[in-house]
Amino acid sequence: MATNTTDRVRRMSVSSVHVHYVNKAERKGRTRAEVDEVIRWLTGYSQDQLEALLTAGTDFETFFAEAPTMNPNRFLITGTICGHRVEAIEDPFMREVRHMDKLVDEVSKGKAMAKILRSPPA
């Protein structure tokens, strides 16, 4: 991915994209709560922390750099998003962005939440 694109994404506010995530999910009959759940699963933020970051207009670079606990199972997220194989993205920052994109995409496609969150079988 081009450096100028990466730089632009780093400076982009999470809230400016979050609204699109929610709209996409809601068009497919899913909820903001489900979108927020997958973001919290990925990053370790609480709902209150997530709300504060969205309100503050936090950029993606800060959002991921300050995430309390990036979920170790995020590397189980595979497939394509925006024409790129998630597992093949070399830039660690852009891989995290695409992990989040892929999770929201799975919510929007109606995938079961247990599968989205890579929960082990019971």
Domain boundaries, the chain: 13-116
Residue 51 DSSP SS3 = helix
* pTM for the structure as a whole: 0.92
Task: Dihedral sign for Cα 66, 70, 75, 76, please.
Answer: negative
Residue with tokens 């189980």: 76
Q: pLDDT at position 82, please?
A: 83
Task: Dihedral sign for Cα 89, 91, 96, 97, please.
Answer: negative
Total Cβ atoms within 10 A of residue 14: 24
- Tell me which residue of 90, 87, 53 sits closest to 68, measured CA to CA: 53
Q: pLDDT at position 119, please?
A: 76
Half-sphere exposure of 31 (CA within 13 A, CB side): 4
Q: pLDDT at position 1, please?
A: 46
Q: pLDDT at position 100, please?
A: 97
95-101: long-range contacts, CB 8 A cutoff, minimum separation 24? 96/42, 96/64, 96/70, 97/9, 97/60, 97/64, 99/42, 99/74, 100/38, 100/39, 100/42
Low-confidence ranges of the chain (pLDDT < 70): 1-3, 120-122
84: β partners = 81
* CATH assignment, 13-116: 1.10.8.290
